[in-house]
Structures are given as structure tokens and as C-alpha cells.
Structure 1
Amino acid sequence: MSLSPVAVIGMHRSGTSCLAGCLEDLGLSLGDVVTSAPHNKKGNRENPRFWPVHDAVLARVGASWDNPPSEPVAWTAQERADLKAVLADYDPLPRPWGVKDPRATVLLDGWLEVLPDLRLIGSIRHPVAVAGSLTARNGYEQSRGFAIWAGYNRALLRWRDLVAFDVVDFDAPDYEARVRDAAQRLGLDAARPMPFRDAELNHQKAGGETPAEVADLWMRLSEIAR
């Protein structure tokens, strides 16, 4: 079983923090991550040192976390060196270790140049719930939330067409079983307790019809989730 590193990818507010935290319960080493935040009681499970690296790459191509690039992004040699400098912190960690920052979803070309053996696992969530979460946290109009959601999830699908990896629906009724199955395929201990997930922290529920502008994309994502 491979012990190569793992990246948790997916749109912001789409359960990536929950998935990373659950995988950490099952043995994935996350290193020095945020464990508490105003809009995420248990923390986003991200290493803040990745944020400026990703933000600089996005800014160079005229993008940002809430205006994701529509095409793959080629990294410069300096940007790859900056990423390697942060990844050096992970050398002492038990394997497999993992990372999570939604920005990586739209910047994976650089990551895979630096870590060709990087494995992926994705988290998806209904666009209505994500847009509602962005409205509550950032004050964004629903249409803007849908546009950001679509940008990230198109990137996720693009990679899913190229590389086989599990995609977990955050709101699936059998979420825990799906995470454990995926964890086993990642070489983690799927039988461990998994206390990180807390249904009471899910404040946005998906309901009603999927908006037309994102319906086809959500259908495709639903088809690959397991």
C-alpha cells in the first residue's frame, strides 16, 4: 500500500475541512494546521504557510480564491521553490501525510510537478448549500457563490478525468461509511474512531431544485461521488 502524500481538494465550504479532519482521525498526518476558527469551530485543518504561496500564484494570473482561474495554471520555478520550502516541514511527519487548502484544487499542476506521487481525494457539496455558506460568511450574492463553486468543481472534474481518486459527498447519508472506504484505499486505518465529524456544525442544508446554471455540473459530480 502506497504511503505517498494525500491532498484533500474541493471547493471552499464544501466539507474539505471535515474530510481532512476525519482522515486525520484515521491516521493521516496533517502537521501544523488551524484547529479553530470563527467560521469553522474545529478549524479548517489547513497549514497557513500554504496560503501566501497559493495566493501569489493566483494573483500572478489575475485570479484569487473567489475568482478561480478557468484554465490550468503553470507555475514558475520560484513558485515551485516556495512550495517546496513549505513542504520541507512535512519530511519528519509519519506517512502518509496530507494537506488541505481548497486553492490547491485550481493549482494542482504545480503541486504535481513538485510531488508527482501526490494522491488526491475530493469533497463535494450541493451548490445551494455552498452558496448559502458563502452568503453567511462573506455576504456574497447567491449567483456569485454559484460561479465560484462552478470554477472549483470544473477543476476537480478535470483532474478526475485524468487521475482516479475518490470523491465524497459531504451531505451523503452514509458519509461515514464512504469516508472509511476511501481511507482504506489510501492505506489508513479505517477502523479507528472518527469523532471529527459533527452534524451539528453543518449549518447549511441543500434543498429544492438545483439552479439551472449549475445543474449539469452537479449531476456530473454526483455521478462520480461514492
Structure 2
Amino acid sequence: MTTVYTILGMHKSGTTLLSQMLDASGIGMIEGVDSRSYDQGNHFERLSTNGLNKRLLGCGEANSLRVITPYAAGPDHADRIAEARALASEIAAPGGDWGFKDPRSCLTHAFWAEALPDLRVICVYRSAASVRRHYTARKHLSVSRGARALRAWYLYNHGMLAAYDSTAPARRILLNYETLLTDDAELRRLQAFVGRPLQDSRRPALNRRSSAIGLRERIERAALRGFAGLDITALESRLAAALAAERG
């Protein structure tokens, strides 16, 4: 029986690494073969499922930090479900396990769970501070970009955790990107989940972003908590608790 996986996580949180590892190990994550590296623009994303995600969210090619509203079923919901199932049948036709990776799936997971009831989820998160630093590394960018990155981090990871909580334990796994890069036990846990050895594509040096929280970020976190009710620190604690519980 074919097994279908989806990788859920905020942008810049290790989703590409996981998709690359699965694809190289016999779980088809993209259409065809793409020999480009990550630095050359290969994000190991399946174009067909990503295209459907964009249509579901009506976001076109909008910047990822601005795509933050979860999918809401409309009058065409049944048609979209049928489209997703037909797409899945087409992908599965040649045989073999397969999956798809798109950070936007954190906002559309309820749709995919309805379309594909046996879907297995691989959830991964990275510290908010590290993700924020990625988006603010270029000094010419607007000072508001840090707050937008934190807002997106919260909404994507909130959606990811909701997907995790709503999935049966046998069909879900939660990983922390920073830990996965250096801890072989986490790689073994992932291998046990997918039931096969995985090509180890980890490069610890890629974790270049510090998780230390500076003064500006503290101000941004306080503003998001006070004005939008988005408590970054509380969500990080919930993620850490879920991870600890899963590890036992």
C-alpha cells in the first residue's frame, strides 16, 4: 500500500532538508529529477501540490511572510477535494511511497487531511529567533520585517501544531531542526517513522542563525503579544513540550 507524507513547517525551518532526504531515499517528493542544489534554487517542492495550495489560499506568488491566512472552505470545496484526490491518484499511479513539502500546507492541512485521510505528517520547527534572523539579515530591509517574520512564524507553527494534535500518534512525528542537524538519535527516530534508512544529507554548518533573543526582537514579541494576541514564547514552550512528550 502506498504511503503519503506531507512535511509541515515554517519557511527556513528544515523542510527542504527533510524533503531532500526522503526523496533521495525512495520517497518521491518532487516531479522527475532535479539535480540542482538548495543554493541553486532547488527547494524539493512538488509543483502540482504547491500549485493547488496557492489556489486554495488565493495567494498567487505573494511573499511568504504575507501569506498567513488559513484556508477556509468555500462553495467550491467539494470540487477542490475531488481535484486533490485525482492529483494524488495520478501521482501514486506508478507505485511507491510519495509526499509533498510546502510550508503553506501549515495553513491548508485540514483540507489535505480531509482529501487524504491516511496522510502521515512530518512536522519540523526552528526557533523563532533563528527564523527571524534569516529574514532580517540584509540591513537594507525595512525594520518592520522582523515583526512580520515573527508573526508568520507564530501563525505557521500554530497551524503546524494544530495539524500535529489532530493527527493520530502513529501517523505523526515532530522534530526540531537545530537538534536534528547534530543528533543522530533524531535521525534514527525519523527513519523509524518512515520505516526505511535515509540518506543523511545533514550539514550542521547550515545552522548559521543564532537563537539568542536581542532587544529589538523582545520589543517585537511584546508588541505581537499585546496588540495581536500572538505569544511567541508560549508557542515555543508548547512545541518543546510536545517534542519532549513524543521523545518520552
Spell out, residue by residue over 1:29-63, the C-alpha distance to the aligned partner (whole angstroms, 9 max, x if none).
Answer: 224176547x7447211012223321121128xx9
Shift of residue 148 of structure 1?
Answer: 0.4
Bigger Rg, which one: 2
Once the two structures are superposed, the pairs formed by residues 9-158 of structure 1 within 5 Å of their partners are 9-32=8-31, 36=36, 40-41=39-40, 43-59=42-58, 65=64, 66-69=66-69, 73-74=72-73, 76-136=77-137, 139=141, 141-158=145-162
- TM-score under structure 2 normalisation? 0.75
Aligned to 2:228: none
Q: 2: CA distance between counterparts of 1:157 and 1:21?
A: 22
Query: What is the number of residues matched between the two proteins?
Result: 218
Amino acid at match of 2:191: A
Amino acid at match of 1:223: A
Higher relative contact order (CA 8 A, sep 6+): 1
Q: 1: CA distance between counterparts of 2:141 and 2:85?
A: 35
Aligned to 2:227: none
Amino acid at match of 1:160: Y
Shift of residue 139 of structure 1?
Answer: 4.4
Coordinate RMSD, CA, aligned? 3.0
Structure 2 residues without counterparts, runs of 5 or longer: 222-230
- TM-score under structure 1 normalisation? 0.81
Identity of aligned residues (%): 23
* Aligned pair partner of 2:207 in 193, 198, 202: 202
Aligned to 1:170: 177
**Alpha-carbon distance change, 224 to 54 in structure 1, aligned in 2, over 3 angstroms:** same
Q: Which one has the bigger helix percentage?
A: 2
Amino acid at match of 2:129: V
Shift of residue 5 of structure 1?
Answer: 0.7
